[in-house]
Structure 1
Amino acid sequence: MRVLTFVRRNLVVIAGTLALGYLLLPNLVVLLYSFNKPVSRYNNTWQEFSTEAWSDPCGAPGICDSVGLSLQIGLLSTLAATALGTLAAFALARHRFRGRAGVNSLIFLPMAMPEVVMAASLGTLFLNMRIEFGFTTILIAHIMFCLSFVVVAVKARLAGMDPKLEEAARDLYAGPLQAFVRVTLPLALPGIAAGAMLSFALSLDDVIITQFNSGPSTITFPMFVWGASLKGVPVQVNVIGSAMFFIAVLLVMAGQLLGNGRARRKS
């Protein structure tokens, strides 16, 4: 009876813990096999514990070059998509203009359509414009792909903001730019940050759009993993994947701690 009572009282917590564990299980497997020392090209059977891959994460030819390229494209596409998406979100949320409803619908198209359709369409566009495939085409494609997610994230934040705060700032003789910088932007910053992080994650993880719009010498990390899976994924892939996971967790924890600190100072 005590067990049943405990389960009933903590059902939500138990279900959440199980769901979180299920989501984290693949990451734990990746971390575990980053310490493996396989005897063949395939790192799918445990052999013996080894830190050799962690001491030399660039041991696989071309892996660190692909990671560097992915980070470059991810950062640049995130900056561009965040800037353009934030401006578009403010225009759609705060201004009335002809065609606004149509633009709102077009914003959701890249999110609704299959990724392969957008990838093929952009590839066809670059071919017709005679643009050489490579770093530039991947960057443009990633910006186009991530833009909609930034607009949606920032618009959701703007929808929850009270416009009376900006009106109060203007009543206190703040100019339009001063009111935007000191009132509007800080309030919208969580949505902008969420859109930027989502954009970076999508860009860093993308395979299909990159595959259709990349050149022969532009291999991102997801493309490297996909190509390596055909002949044997090196252990260094697990090392880099685990490192990315830990960095993401640390960033989330840092953001949570900063948010809690600000809440305590306000209270």
Structure 2
Amino acid sequence: MKGVTMLASVWRFVIVSVGMSGLRLDGSHRMARTALFVGVLAVYYLAGPLAVTPSVACWYAGAVWILYYGGLSLVLGGPGRRLLIDRFGEARALTIYEIGLGVLFCNQGFAQAVIIYAFGDSFPSAVPLWASFLAGGALMAVGLTCKTWAACTTGLDTYYCHDMFRGSATPGDLVISGPYRYLRNPMYSVGNLHAYGWALWSRSLEGLACAALFQLGIYAFYHLYERPFIRRVYSVAAAH
């Protein structure tokens, strides 16, 4: 029985880890999601590095930033979700939204990758290799651990903002366990340290700037849209 429980825990960890990168294997349309995700990865890995220049990298990272945070704001904070639901129905609209968000999750990681690849080693020579490797490795370990812990605690539906898309939540949905006992936003704060760690490991000043830009974007989204939603919905839910 313990072996079965352990296998279930490992499988859940795999599902959450893969889901964080943009591919959900625990819902419907798994084959279509996987085919799309693999296709995106193939294009990036086979064709992407051949065309990356500093100019292309900056334009690509900027486009991903706008599509990611602008798209989230339009869909979850604006009329986008209602238009999708009216056109496709809630179930299909949620699937379309989720697949699109998954593609953006994937692109977010590649945006930093192409910035680092295009600009190369830009750290001052005075910074020793061992220091950047040690600091980068430590930040990547801490950030990924915290973000995965938080995602495993909340579940992927929360990671993909299902409650905001539906515009409602139940009292039991508000998570205060795991890392949320210590941090208000473990995914957005400590969970983002892995991006800075990757830039440090790669000795890329531009990578650090890219990590900061994307963290600024998610905090702006949180303060403008997510926090007001949480306060409004969960206070109403608690009252009932």
Mark the structure with the bigger radius of gyration.
1
> Whose relative contact order is higher, 1 or 2, with alpha carbons under 8 Å and at least 6 apart?
1
What's the TM-score once normalised by structure 1's chain length? 0.30
TM-score normalized by structure 2? 0.33
